[in-house]
C-alpha cells in the first residue's frame, strides 16, 4: 500500500543512497522511530556476541506490532541492521565494541497525525521494550536513539529521553564533545 503513494518518475541518486532507500521511502513523509542497541557479550569477559538479544529486540518489535492490531500504528516496515562501533564522539554506536543493532519502525503520516496519538503511544511501547535490555553483568544496556529520527517525545524509565541522554546515555560523551569543541574554538579564534 505504501508503494502506491511513491512518485513514478525516475530519480537519480548515489549508489549508497539507492541501496539504503531502494524502496523509495525518502520520497514520502513518514514517521520513523529508531534506536541503537549495543550488542552485548554472551557472558562477562567474553568477546562472543550475544545474538539472542538481537533476536529478542526483533521479536519484541514484531510482538508489539501484533499487540497493536487495533490501531495498526506500524503501517510500513520494521527494519533492523547491524552496524559497528564508532569513533565519532556523539555517535549512538560509540562504545559498542561488539556492534550495534539498529532497529526501527516506519509508518505513514495518517498514523503519525492520528488525533488519538496512536503513533506516540506505539513509539513509547517500543522504547520501553528496546531500552529494557540488560547485559551479562545485569546492567541496562546503553540504548540510544538515532539522532535524525523521532524520539524526542518518548520517555526512558519515566524520564524525558533528552534528560536521560544528558544524565546517562551521553554523560561522558557530552563532556568530551564540549572539550573538543572548546579546543576547536580556541584554535579558530
CATH of residue 155: 3.30.70.2520
User: How far is residue 104's CA from residue 81's CA, in Å, rounded to a whole number?
Assistant: 9
Tally of domains in the chain? 1
Q: Look at residue 44 in the predicted model and tell me its pLDDT.
A: 96
User: Looking at the domain assignment, is residue 183 inside a domain?
Assistant: yes
pTM given for the model: 0.85
105-150 pLDDT per residue, tens: 999 999 999 999 999 999 999 999 999 999 999 999 999 999 989 9
User: Looking at the domain assignment, is residue 138 inside a domain?
Assistant: yes
User: Looking at the domain assignment, is residue 3 inside a domain?
Assistant: no
User: Looking at the domain assignment, is residue 17 inside a domain?
Assistant: no
Ramachandran sector of residue 44 (left: φ over 0; alpha: ψ -120 to 50; beta: rest): beta
User: Looking at the domain assignment, is residue 169 inside a domain?
Assistant: yes
Q: Look at residue 28 in the predicted model and tell me its pLDDT.
A: 79
13-25 b/e (C-beta count within 10 Å ≥ 16 → b): eeeeeeeeeeeeb
78-114 pLDDT per residue, tens: 999 999 999 999 999 999 999 999 999 999 999 999 9
What domain range includes position 33? 28-188
User: Looking at the domain assignment, is residue 16 inside a domain?
Assistant: no
User: Looking at the domain assignment, is residue 122 inside a domain?
Assistant: yes
User: Looking at the domain assignment, is residue 4 inside a domain?
Assistant: no
Per the CB < 8 A criterion, the answer to whether 161 and 155 are in contact is yes
Q: What share of the chain is helix, strand, coil (3-state, %, to 5)?
A: 40, 20, 40
> DSSP code of 66?
H
Amino acid at each position: 500500500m505504501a508503494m502506491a503513494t511513491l512518485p513514478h518518475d525516475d530519480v537519480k541518486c548515489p549508489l549508497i543512497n539507492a541501496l539504503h532507500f531502494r524502496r523509495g521511502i525518502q520520497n514520502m513523509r513518514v514517521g520513523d522511530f529508531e534506536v541503537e542497541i549495543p550488542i552485548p557479550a554472551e557472558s562477562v569477559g567474553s568477546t562472543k556476541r550475544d545474538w539472542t538479544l538481537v533476536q529478542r529486540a526483533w521479536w519484541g518489535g514484531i510482538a508489539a506490532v501484533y499487540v497493536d492490531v487495533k490501531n495498526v500504528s506500524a503501517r510500513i516496515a520494521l527494519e533492523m541492521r547491524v552496524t559497528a562501533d564508532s569513533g565519532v564522539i556523539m555517535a549512538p554506536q560509540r562504545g559498542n565494541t561488539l556492534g550495534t543493532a539498529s532497529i526501527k519502525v516506519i509508518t505513514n503520516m495518517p498514523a503519525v497525525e492520528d488525533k488519538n496519538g496512536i503513533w506516540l503511544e506505539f513509539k513509547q511501547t517500543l522504547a520501553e521494550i528496546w531500552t529494557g535490555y540488560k547485559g551479562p553483568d545485569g546492567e541496562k544496556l546503553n540504548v540510544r536513539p538515532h539522532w535524525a529520527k523521532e524520539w524526542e517525545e518518548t520517555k526512558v524509565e519515566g524520564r524525558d529521553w533528552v534528560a536521560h541522554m544528558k544524565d546517562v546515555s551521553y554523560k561522558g560523551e557530552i563532556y568530551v564533545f564540549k572539550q573538543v569543541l572548546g579546543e576547536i574554538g580556541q584554535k579558530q579564534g
